[in-house]
A and B are shown apart, each in its own frame.
Chain A
Amino acid sequence: DVQLEESGGGLAQPGGSLRLSCAASGFSFSTNDMHWVRQVAGKGLEWVSGIGTAYDTYYPASVEGRFTISRDNAKSSLYLQMNNLRAGDTGVYYCARGSPLVRGVISHMDVWGQGTTVTVSS
């Protein structure tokens, strides 16, 4: 089975840091682009970052300079380092696979994890 499992969520103070992890299984992790997508409680989805097979990275303006996406192909794992956290970063963070049907990292997502919850509060 193709699976993604996130971990590392929790409570952080404003200005603090957290590192999320995503363990992939059931597919060739190294040959797939990967993404993080978040969802604020009761609201919609927001793309947070993407990383290609060549380790090229992409971010929206809302997190650029604060968040860093990375991958370890030997461990089939994806990471999201989140620094200088704000209350608006609170939400459920999903790890997702970029579709191999699209050339390039900017793609739709065909496999999603169940998410890990991040709460930023003092």
Chain B
Amino acid sequence: EIVLTQSPGTLSLSPGERATLSCRASQSVNRNYLAWYQQKPGQAPRLLIHGASSRATGIPDRFSGSGSGTDFTLAISRLEPGDFAMYYCQQYGTSPITFGQGTRLDIK
């Protein structure tokens, strides 16, 4: 199975700053089928990005995804208080579907 490794484990930033989260795959992700989710405590995950760079419905353009092959990035510009949460990447190019272990975005 494809193992996804997210870095950093925790990212501490201030509102207004830019966040850059990384997701590295153990092998190439077919068709760049890579998604990003946001999860807040006590809530279900919310889809942010699919196909490595396509924003899901209703997601503001402060969120952007990029990358291909084995290296992917989620960037969040102008951090707002509601952006501080856990972020997970997921690959769905090959079965089994796998998730990264997550990056925690904390308020500095």
The chain A residues found within 8 Å of chain B, CB to CB, are 35, 37, 43-47, 50, 58-61, 94, 99, 101-102, 106-110, 112-115
Contacts and interface: CB of A to CB of B under 8 A. Distances in A.
Given A50-B97, A58-B95, A113-B44, A108 B88 contact: no
A49 to B, nearest CB: 10
Given A102-B92, A107-B92, A108-B33, A46 B99 contact: yes
Given A44-B101, A110-B56, 16 more contacts: A43-B101, A44-B100, A45-B90, A47-B98, A59-B96, A60-B1, A60-B97, A94-B45, A107-B92, A107-B97, A108-B50, A110-B57, A112-B46, A113-B44, A114-B43, A114-B44
Contact of B99 (A45, A114, A115): A45
A115 B56 CA distance: 21
B47 interface: yes
Nearest to A114: B44
B99 A47 contact: yes
Interface residue SS majority, chain A: loop
A112 B33 contact: no
A61 B44 contact: no
Contacts of A101: 50-51
Nearest to B31: A102
Q: Which of B37, B92, B98, B99 lies at the interface centre, i.e. has the most chain A CB atoms within 10 A of its CB?
A: B92
B88 A44 contact: yes
A47 B97 contact: yes
Interface string B1-42: 100000000000000000000000000000001010100000
A47 B37 CA distance: 14
Nearest to A112: B44
A64 B47 CA distance: 26
A108 B33 CA distance: 8
Q: Which of A45, A102, A110 lies at the interface centre, i.e. has the most chain B CB atoms within 10 A of its CB?
A: A45
Q: Which of B44, B51, B101 lies at the interface centre, i.e. has the most chain A CB atoms within 10 A of its CB?
A: B44
